[in-house]
Every structure is written in structure tokens, then in C-alpha cells.
Structure 1
Amino acid sequence: MTGDRQHQSGRRSASGHRRKRLARAGARLGAFGLAALLAACAGDQTGSVLTPAVIKVPEQAPRTTGRTRAGDEADHAKLVASFGGEYRSPAAHRLLTEITDRLVRVSDHPEETYAVTLLDSPVVNAFALPSGRLYVTRGLLGLASDSSEVAAVLAHEIAHVTLRHATARTEMALRSQLVSRVVADVLNDPVTGAQLENQSKFTLARFSREQEFEADTTGVRVLAQAGYDPFGAGRFLEALNRTMALKAGSGSAAEPDMLATHPATTERIALVTRAARRIGAPGLGADDRARYLAAIDGLAYGDNPGDGLVRGRLFLHPGLHIAFEVPEAFAIENTRNAVLGTTPEGSRRLLFDQVEASGDRSLEEVLRATWNDGIEAGSVENRIIGGRPAVTAISRGKDWTFRLAAIRVGESTYRMIMAAKGATDPEPAFRRWLESLRPIEPEEAAALKPAHLQIVTAAPGDTVEALARRMSVPDRAVDRFLVLNGLVRGAALKPGQSYKLVVE
């Protein structure tokens, strides 16, 4: 979560922009009834294996790759800023560029050009624009174990561009909107128009999932043609699946969402593994593991202290000078605009964010303005919590019960929202969380250090447990070490081989 209070006068303007962005994000979350808080993860699901469909992209689709369009630079700058800015690592960026060039040379359109940007974000993500811009987060580099795994991700994104997926998806969306609008407005049949619009959402979601399958299949082929291990695609997706399960704390990823634009990760693993087997047996192609690990040695890992840090159930933000502790069973994640939390089974969720509030507006007005769902009559209560003014309220939806609070700390106003599935009132846990909000002492803030990756060489006699004990992680050090290094339980370390540790 990005902080907005800075003492240096030279940073006040940027601080104001961040505050406004957080306020807009908070309003959007309220407007959608905390949709972001209750949404399932779309990209990392489990499910049965599907057969990818053949996708035909219109012949007249414009070829924009490698061309600069009006507004491209401005859009690029906004996108980079939304992911925390560009991460500076000459060795990692040089390796990414070399991998990309190697893939493009054997792709279906070797004449096209690409530019790779490394983003300063801990989330595991990569995406491409039709213009040929590729984006990779440092979180993704930290998860990958060798060059072939990163090359698999880049080959997948390049395939999206060469197959003109963005254009095809846009055309389908526009066509669906046009049909439903004609039926509703021109033919004066709003009921059928609404039904068609709803059907089009499922059709577009399925179309997007089919595009992912096609990009996976094409990506594996290009990966092998470039001389990389084609099984790297499956290894990376398996690491991604294990990471999501570890984050959820349940040991398994969530159930698939019918409107998810990405297929279940297990489906993709099965698909890319079959595609790799059709090319050859495991061991085919290079993985460049040693060179890759050398390139990411020292890479920042996890949250940037400037955006707040998660330490187990504790969230600390030196820039905002605040900290709080979530109740037991909650796992929390710090995003750019909010702190989100959930229990392993998903029956309780929480959200903490900052909202724009002028000094002449009451906290009740702020809470109502940023929460568009109904607030239960008579539930609004003015309170003093830890010496700070606060307003709390209850909102009951069809499937969830919400406890809401707006609390003022110094010149800033924050929202704290906890949701419980069904009619269960989450008040006891919500009260403990609310009362845990406190200021950070200067010495506590000074002691916070960012984590980074350290590449170490296993010595004879080293074990997984021994190296895991050197990790600066909040819990489950062995599990995190195994996922980070692509190992399974019971695996033995190889003397002389390099492994990743998370240290401060």
C-alpha cells in the first residue's frame, strides 16, 4: 500500500497524487460492494483439463507490433508507475533482453521488435501490449529458477502478440456489445438485450481462456526452437500454483471462476507438459540455471518498505507511520492501493485502505461516501479508539455481513472493512483488528529492512532444513524454500549447486 505522508517538501506533490489515487481506489471498492475483496483469483485455479479450441483471428486485424502509436509513451509511463516504477537491475534486464531476442528470431514474426521493462512489483506477473512492449515483474524473476522458465513466460506473451489476440478479443467484445444494444434499444427488447449481454460475458471469458491455451501451445514450440528446455513452461506454472496455494494457506489453489479469463493453472500445466513431450524427452534444451541465478543475485524480494511491509500477521508502513495486526487465521497481502486479507477457507475477508477526506467532513460522511451498499439503520457509532476518532457501522448483503470503520490518524483517514460469509457478525475479530491500529515508533521504522534474494552454494552435508533456517520469512520456511527453488519434499540438495534464499 503506497504511503502519502512525506516530510520533505519536494515530495508533497507526488504525495498528493498518491492520496488521490488511493481515494479513487477506495471509492471504486465501495461502489462495487467490496468486489475486489470477495473476488476469486482468476489466474491460478484448479480444474479439469480442457482441449484448446482453434482461434481464428480476422485477416484484416491491424499489425501494430513494432510500431509506435500516438499515446504509446504516455500509456507506458502510466502502466509502469502503476506497478511501482521500473526496477533497476542491469544484469537481470540484460538477460531478459537476450532471452527475448533469441525467442523472437524463431517466432512466427521474426521481423517484429520488442522492448522489455522490468517492473518493481513483488507480484508474480508478466504481460504484453500489441505494440511489442513486454513487462515482467521482479516477483516473477524471484519465483523462476532458470532461464528456460522465464523464456517460457516471455514466449507465451510474445505468442499473444504474434497471434493478434488483443485485436481479436477487442473485436469480439465490441461485436457483443453492439448486438445486445441493438436488441435492447432498436428492437425495444431490453430483457433479451440483457440476456445477450450476460451470455456475451461468458463467451468472451471462454474466448480469452482459449487464447491462453493457444499462447501456451505456441509458446512451448517457440521455446524449444530457441534451444530452451520446453519443460520449463510446466515447471514455472507448477511453481506458480504452489505459490498461490502457499499464499492461501490451504495447500491447494481456489476453485475455478466461470468468468476467469485465464484457465486453471493445472489445466495449463497438463497442456504445456503434453506439448513438451511431443517435442522430446525431459533434458532436451538448455535451462542456463547457473547464469540465471547469478543475474538475480541480490534482487529485491517481497514488499518495498516505501509501500508498507507484511511481517506475518503484522502490517507496518513507515511512510504512513502506522501499523496493525490482523486476527489469527488471516493471511494478508499488501497491494499498491490496499491491504487485503483472507482466511484459508475464504469465509472471512478484510480490507484496509486510505481515503480522501477533507477536514470539514465527518467520519460518518466519509464512510457513507465510500461505501455504496446499504448501511444498516442505527448501526453507525462514533467512537474513540486508541485516542483516535472513529466511526463504525454494519452493512448486510445477500451472502456477506460487513463491519465497516473510518478512523482518523493525524491528518489521514483510513477505512477498515471485515466481511464474513453469511449472517455471521465478524465483530469480535473486527474489534481486535481495529484496536490494534497504532503509530510506528521511529526506531521501529528504522529497523525495517527490505528483503532480497541471496544465491548460495550448497556444501556437502547441507540440507533443505538447514538452508531454510537462514531464510528471513514469517513462517513455513521449509515450504517457502522448496517452492522458491523448485524442489519437492524429501529432495536432497546437490553439493556445488546454487540455491535461492530470502534474507534481509
Structure 2
Amino acid sequence: MACALVPVPVPVLLAVLLAVLGLAGCAAEQTGALLAPAAVTVPAEAPRTTGRQRPGDSDHLKLVASFGGEYRAPATLQLVSEVTDRLVRASERPDQTYAVTLLDSSVVNAFALPSGRLYVTRGLVALASDTSEIAAVLAHEIAHVTLAHATARTELELRSQLVSRVVADVLNDPTTGAQLQNQSRFALARFSREQELEADGVGVRTLARAGYDPYGAGRFLTSLNRTLALKTGTGAPGEPDMLATHPGTAERITLVTRAARRSGAPGIGVDDRARYLAAIDGLAYGDNPGEGAVRGRRFIHPSLGIAFEVPDGFAIENTRNAVLGTTPEGSRRLLFDQVDAESGQGLDAVLKATWNDAIEPGSVELREVGPYPAATALSRGKDWTFRLAALRVGEATYRMIMAAKGATDPDPAFRRWIASLAAVSSAETQALRPLRLQVVQASSTNPEDLARRMAVPDRALDRFLVLNGLERNAALRPGQGYKIVTE
């Protein structure tokens, strides 16, 4: 949770709380009901809306800042830049120029701008296990640029908006205009998914032409899928709905594996694993401690000067806007964030203003939680029971929300959680260090020997296997390097 906290909008609060720790970017997965898409017809005579100026340096700086800033890792950047150059020479536009930026973010994400700027987070770099896997990600993003996907999407989106606006305003038919706008959402989502699949296919062909192992694309997406399953705690991520802008990862794995087979049998191309591991050895892993860090069940934010500890059974993740938590079976969840409060506004009023569901009559309680004034309340939804708190720490106001599936009141665990909120000691702040990747050589074939050295809050073996692209029951190769997370 960054120092400049952004409150979660009220209309999407439940979605944020109940969507368990999802990932953003080209890897995003969503769940929901499948709906039949409706076609949007854009008149041929409609004016064109593209051709605007490309993003300048100021836009680039804003984008980089929104992902935690630029991450300085010369060896990693050199490797990624060299891979990009090799891919461009094998692409359909070898004349295109690209500039790569590493982003200081733990999320697994990569994206490209039409101008040829490529962005890769350190979280994605950490997940990849060899050079062919990072090359697969870069080839996918390069394909988006060479296929002019961003321009095509902008064209369809803006022209569709124009049609619905003309129908609503000029023809004075707001009902039809609203229907067209709603239809366009489905068409744009389908269009984006088709673009992703097209970029996957072109990316694998580029990967093979550049001499990299084309099966690296499938391996990376498999690791991504397993990472999502670890975060959700359900064992497998859900399938996307018709409004998702990205296809399901399982669908993408099938497509890229089929494309790789067209290039040849497994074993073709290079994965350059040893060089890749050497380039990322020492890479920061997980949260930037200055923007809040998770250590076991404890969340610490030195810049805000606060910390708390979640109850047993919860795994928590620090995101840009909030701290989210869930139990392995997903029956209990929690959210911690900062909200704006008007001067002089009571904490009970803050709760009511920032919660878009009904609060149980008579459940609001004004109290002290340690040294902090607080208001707590109970809210019962159709499928979930919520305990809510608003607490004032200095000039800041925070919310702490715990949800339990069904009618069970999570109050006992909730009270222990909010009572743990406290100021961070200077000693704890000074002792807080970023986690890092360390490449170590295996001395045995047993993965548990290295998993025990992982500085992670839970499921150390599962996280070790995913981080190294290994299946369960896999045997290590003595003398070969593997990634572990250390303090």
C-alpha cells in the first residue's frame, strides 16, 4: 500500500474485497457469468478518431511513477535489452525501435506503448525461470506494437462511443444510445481477447525465429497460472467472463503450446537458463518496504508509521490501494485501506459514507482501540457477514473490514485484528529490509531442502516450485542453480 493511498471507490468496494488478490496487466484473470456478446456496427462513414500524438516523456514519467518508479538493476536491464534487440530483428518490423524500462513493482506485469516503449515489472522478471521465458513475454508485447493493437482498439472504442452519442443526443434516442454503449462493452472485451491471442501466436513465431525455445511461452504462462492459484488459495484461478479483456491463462497455454509445436519438437532453441539466473541474482522480491511490507502475518508501513497483525490462517498481500487478505479456503477475507474524511466528520459517519451496503441498526459502536478513536459496525449481505471499523490515527483515517462467508459473525477474530493496530517502532523500521532473490546451487534432489530456506509467510514448498517452474514431486539437479527468497 503506497504512501499516497488512494481510497477504494464505494461502488467497487465489495468487488475488491471479494476478488481475492488478483493480478493486473496482460496476466489478468476475471470471473463471472458467461454472456453472449452483441455485435457493434460502426458506420463506414463515421469519422476516424486515431492519429493523435504519441505519449511524450511526461506521460512516460507518470506511468513509471504509477508502478513504483524505475528499478535499477544494470545486469537485468542489459539482458532484457539484448533479448529485445534479438527479438526485434526476428519480428515483422525489424525497423521498429524499442526502449525497455524495468518497473519497481512486485506485480507480474508487462505492457507496451505504440511508441515502442516496453515495460516489465521486477515481479515478472522474478517469476520467469530462463531467458526464453522472458523473451516470450517481450515477444508478445512486441507483437502488440507491430500489429498496431492499441491504435485499433482506440479506433473501435472511440468510434463506438461516437455512434452511441449521436443516437442519444442528435437523434434524441437515449435508450438506443445506452443499448449501443452496453453492446460496445462486450464487443470491445471480445476484441481485446482476440488481440491477446493474436499477439500470443505472433509472439511464439518470433520467439522461434530468434532462436529461443518457443516452449518458453507455455512454461511462463503455466507459472503465471500457478501463481494466481496460490494467491486465490482455491487451487485454480477462475475463467474470465465476456467482459474480461484477456483470455483465460489455460486457453493461452493451449494456444502457445500448439504454436510451439508447429515450430518443432521440444528441445529446439535455447533457454539460456544459467545466464538468466546470473542476471537476476539479488533482484528485490515482493513489496518495497517503504510502501508497506508483509512479514508473515504482520503488515508494517514505516512511512505511515503503523503496523498490524492478522489472525491465524490469513495470508495477506500489500497492493497499491489496500492490504487484502484471505484464508486458504476463501471463506474469510479482509481489507485495510485509507479513506478521505471531511474535517470534523465523525467516524460513524465515515463508515456509513464509505460502505455501500446496509449497516445493521444499533450495531454502530464508538470506542477506543488502544490509543486510537474508532467506530465499529456490523453489516449482513446475502452471502457474507461483514465487520467494519474506521480508525483515526493522527490526521489519517483507516478502514479495517473483515468478511465471513454465510451468517457467521467474524467479530472475535475481527476484534483481535483491529486491537493489533499500533505505531511502528524505530527498531522495527530499521530492521526492515527488502526481500531478495538468491540463486543457490542444489546439493540434493529434494526440493524441500531449498524450500526450507525461503523467507515467505506460508506454503514455502509450493512457492519454491512455482518460482522455479517445477512440478510437484520434481527432483532437483545437484549442482544446478535455483531461485530462493531471502531476507
**Superposition TM-score, scaled by structure 2 size:** 0.89
The one-letter code matched in structure 2 to 1:2 is A
Q: Which whole-Å deviations, capped at 9, do the CAs of 1:267-325 have from their partners, x for residues lacking one?
A: 00010000000110011001111111000010011111111111233212222222222
CA 1:113/1:490 → structure 2, altered by over 3 Å: closer, same or farther?
same
CA distance in 1, matches of 2:170, 2:389: 46
Q: Which whole-Å deviations, capped at 9, do the CAs of 1:181-213 have from their partners, x for residues lacking one?
A: 333334444333333322221221111111110
2:220 — aligned with what?
A: 236
Q: CA deviation at 1:446?
A: 2.6
CA distance in 2, matches of 1:196, 1:343: 41
Q: CA deviation at 1:101?
A: 0.7
Q: CA deviation at 1:414?
A: 1.0
Q: CA deviation at 1:174?
A: 1.9
Aligned: 1:145 with 2:129: yes
CA 1:231/1:88 → structure 2, altered by over 3 Å: closer, same or farther?
same
**Superposition TM-score, scaled by structure 1 size:** 0.86
Please say if residues 105 and 123 of structure 2, whose CA atoms lie closer than 8 Å, have aligned partners that are also in contact: yes
CA 1:212/1:451 → structure 2, altered by over 3 Å: closer, same or farther?
same
Aligned: 1:350 with 2:330: no
Count residues with an aligned counterpart: 468
The alignment partner of 2:77 has SS state of: helix
Aligned: 1:32 with 2:12: yes
**Aligned residue runs from structure 1 range 55-454, under 5 A:** 69=53, 72-357=56-341, 360-371=344-355, 375-395=359-379, 400-421=384-405, 425-454=409-438
Q: Which runs of 5+ in 1 are unaligned?
A: 4-17, 48-57
1:480 — aligned with what?
A: 463
Please say if residues 61 and 168 of structure 1, whose CA atoms lie closer than 8 Å, have aligned partners that are also in contact: no
Q: Quick one: percent identity of the two aligned structures?
A: 72
CA distance in 1, matches of 2:479, 2:54: 52
The alignment partner of 2:9 has SS state of: helix
1:498 — aligned with what?
A: 481
Please say if residues 332 and 402 of structure 2, whose CA atoms lie closer than 8 Å, have aligned partners that are also in contact: yes
Please say if residues 125 and 137 of structure 1, whose CA atoms lie closer than 8 Å, have aligned partners that are also in contact: yes
CA distance in 2, matches of 1:330, 1:104: 44
Which residue of the other structure, out of 448, 453, 456, is the alignment partner of 1:465? Answer: 448
CA distance in 2, matches of 1:468, 1:130: 41
CA distance in 2, matches of 1:236, 1:261: 20
Q: CA deviation at 1:456?
A: 1.2
Q: CA deviation at 1:480?
A: 1.2
Please say if residues 54 and 114 of structure 2, whose CA atoms lie closer than 8 Å, have aligned partners that are also in contact: no
Please say if residues 33 and 373 of structure 1, whose CA atoms lie closer than 8 Å, have aligned partners that are also in contact: no
The alignment partner of 1:32 has SS state of: helix
Q: CA deviation at 1:122?
A: 0.8
CA 1:311/1:121 → structure 2, altered by over 3 Å: closer, same or farther?
same
The one-letter code matched in structure 1 to 2:247 is P
CA 1:37/1:305 → structure 2, altered by over 3 Å: closer, same or farther?
same
Please say if residues 332 and 404 of structure 2, whose CA atoms lie closer than 8 Å, have aligned partners that are also in contact: yes
Aligned: 1:2 with 2:2: yes
2:40 — aligned with what?
A: none
CA distance in 1, matches of 2:361, 2:119: 47
Please say if residues 45 and 265 of structure 1, whose CA atoms lie closer than 8 Å, have aligned partners that are also in contact: no
Q: CA deviation at 1:458?
A: 2.2
Q: CA deviation at 1:378?
A: 4.2
Please say if residues 29 and 244 of structure 2, whose CA atoms lie closer than 8 Å, have aligned partners that are also in contact: no
1:55 — aligned with what?
A: none
CA distance in 2, matches of 1:157, 1:402: 41
Please say if residues 45 and 263 of structure 1, whose CA atoms lie closer than 8 Å, have aligned partners that are also in contact: no
- Name the stretch that deviates more: 492-501 or 391-400: 391-400
CA distance in 2, matches of 1:175, 1:364: 45
Q: Which whole-Å deviations, capped at 9, do the CAs of 1:140-164 have from their partners, x for residues lacking one?
A: 1111011100000000011111111
1:7 — aligned with what?
A: none
CA 1:466/1:70 → structure 2, altered by over 3 Å: closer, same or farther?
closer
The alignment partner of 1:2 has SS state of: coil
Please say if residues 29 and 35 of structure 1, whose CA atoms lie closer than 8 Å, have aligned partners that are also in contact: no
CA distance in 2, matches of 1:180, 1:429: 50
CA 1:62/1:172 → structure 2, altered by over 3 Å: closer, same or farther?
closer
Please say if residues 377 and 388 of structure 2, whose CA atoms lie closer than 8 Å, have aligned partners that are also in contact: yes
CA 1:186/1:395 → structure 2, altered by over 3 Å: closer, same or farther?
farther
Q: CA deviation at 1:370?
A: 3.7
The alignment partner of 1:275 has SS state of: helix
> Alpha carbon RMSD of aligned pairs, Å?
2.5
Q: Which runs of 5+ in 2 are unaligned?
A: 33-43
CA 1:423/1:495 → structure 2, altered by over 3 Å: closer, same or farther?
closer
CA 1:36/1:72 → structure 2, altered by over 3 Å: closer, same or farther?
farther
Q: Which whole-Å deviations, capped at 9, do the CAs of 1:469-495 have from their partners, x for residues lacking one?
A: 122112221111111111112222212
- Name the stretch that deviates more: 69-78 or 119-128: 69-78
Please say if residues 30 and 372 of structure 1, whose CA atoms lie closer than 8 Å, have aligned partners that are also in contact: yes
Please say if residues 456 and 485 of structure 2, whose CA atoms lie closer than 8 Å, have aligned partners that are also in contact: yes
